[in-house]
Structure 1
Amino acid sequence: MKDIQLLTTHEQLKVLSDPFRSQLLLRLMEKPMTGQQLSEVFNLSRARIHYHLKELEKNDLVHIVKKEEKNGIVQKFYQSVASGFVADRSLLPHPEEMSETVRQMMINMLERSQKRVLSAPEEALHDETGSQDPSEWKYLSGAFEFKATENDFKAWLKKYFSLMEQLSEIQKQNPSPDAKTYYFHSLGIQVDEPIFERKKPEDEN
């Protein structure tokens, strides 16, 4: 699976702007699955799942990564061709479709993350420290707003991805039997207006 795949056709944008297909693609970014497995996950008929899989496959968004025979039936395992997608410059004449595609992927990712939080073990959410310093907590949760130029944001983004890469490499180099799996979901996007208003108590002014 590639890290990033370029979207080069208008049809690819249209396919991914469909809420269900983007949801399907997110599942196939996680691991290979068959049409039968997906029909059970989404509680939909295999025929309907198959139709959407074929649309994704036809537009080079998913591919078959392995086949297994079970009870005389060949099962096809589909997976996303990449863990992320970005629109090519050639698609700039279609800004509405580009925006809708990104919006749907973000919304579906938020819904998927919500399910991961709901299924997290109790120990992951139980903080024994009682610390007011978030860096000492055993989970990451927060919402922030900052003023920044686009260049400021892009420069910080490079540092952020570098830090994530460092974290992903630690256990590869020095495996520990105590290592746990951590799930991250990050979202940073320009908004119309701020919603946070922070004021000091009057006795601190």
Structure 2
Amino acid sequence: MKDIKLLTTYEQLKALSDPFRSQLILRLMEKPQTGQQLSEVFDLSRARIHYHLKELEKNELVEIVKREEKNGIVQKFYQSVAGGFVADRTLLPNSGDLSETVRQMMVNMLERSKMRVLSTPEEALQEETGSQDPTDWKYLSSAFEIKATEEDFKAWQKKYYELMDELADIQKKNPTENAKLYYFHSLGIQVDESMFDRKRSEEVES
């Protein structure tokens, strides 16, 4: 699976802007699954699942990565072709559809993150230190609003990805038995109104 795939056709853009297909893509970014497995996850018929899978496959957004025979039936395992997607500049005239595609992917990613939080083990949420410094906690849960130029944001974002690679490399180079699996979800977008400032002003008025 590639890290990023370039979307070069309007059909690919439309396929990803479909709410349900973007949910399928996110599932198949995590691990390969069959149509039967996905039909059980989404409680939909196999025929309906296969219809959407074929549309995604036709647009080169998912692919069959392995086949297994079970009870005389060949099962096809589908996987997303990439861990992320970005639109080619030639698609910019369709900016409305492009924005909706990105928005839909973000919303579905938030839903997946919500499910991961709800299923996280209890011990991961038990903070025994009593520290008021969030950097001492064994979990990360924060929201920020920061004013910055687009150039400064992009420069910081580059450092952020480098930092994530640095953390991942620690166990790759020197694996230990006490290492735990951590799930990260980051979201950084421009907004028009500060919710934090509004909340503070509402508290003062009350």
1:191 positional shift: 0.3
> Which amino acid letter does the alignment assign opposite residue 98 of structure 1?
L
Is 1:12 the counterpart of 2:12? The answer is yes
Distance 2:21 2:195 in 1: 32
Work out the number of aligned pairs and report it. 200
1:170 positional shift: 0.7
Distance 2:8 2:109 in 1: 22
> For structure 1, which runs of at least 5 residues remain unmatched after alignment?
none
Runs (4+) of structure 1 exceeding 3 A deviation are none
2:152 aligned residue: 152
> For structure 2, which runs of at least 5 residues remain unmatched after alignment?
none
Say which SS state the counterpart of residue 75 (structure 1) adopts.
Answer: strand
Per-residue CA deviation, residues 101-122 of structure 1 (Å, 9 max, x unaligned), is: 0000000000000000000000
> Which amino acid letter does the alignment assign opposite residue 152 of structure 2?
D
2:24 aligned residue: 24
Distance 1:147 1:180 in 2: 34
Is 1:103 the counterpart of 2:117? The answer is no
1:34 aligned residue: 34
Distance 1:34 1:168 in 2: 29
Say which SS state the counterpart of residue 23 (structure 2) adopts.
Answer: helix
Say which SS state the counterpart of residue 93 (structure 1) adopts.
Answer: helix
Distance 2:132 2:24 in 1: 39
Distance 1:84 1:16 in 2: 11
2:193 aligned residue: 193
Distance 2:171 2:81 in 1: 26
Distance 1:137 1:104 in 2: 32
Distance 1:62 1:130 in 2: 46
2:164 aligned residue: 164
1:50-129 to structure 2, matched below 5 A, reads 50-129=50-129
Give the number of the structure whose residues are more often helix, by fraction: 2
1:139 aligned residue: 139
2:44 aligned residue: 44
Distance 1:147 1:34 in 2: 44
Per-residue CA deviation, residues 162-184 of structure 1 (Å, 9 max, x unaligned), is: 00000111101111111000000
Distance 1:191 1:101 in 2: 18
1:193 positional shift: 1.1
Question: TM-score scaled to structure 1, two decimals?
Answer: 0.96
Question: TM-score scaled to structure 2, two decimals?
Answer: 0.96
How many percent identity over aligned positions? 78
Per-residue CA deviation, residues 24-50 of structure 1 (Å, 9 max, x unaligned), is: 000000000000000000000000000
Say which SS state the counterpart of residue 68 (structure 2) adopts.
Answer: strand
Distance 2:168 2:80 in 1: 21
Distance 2:34 2:125 in 1: 33
> Which amino acid letter does the alignment assign opposite residue 191 of structure 1?
V
Distance 1:174 1:101 in 2: 39
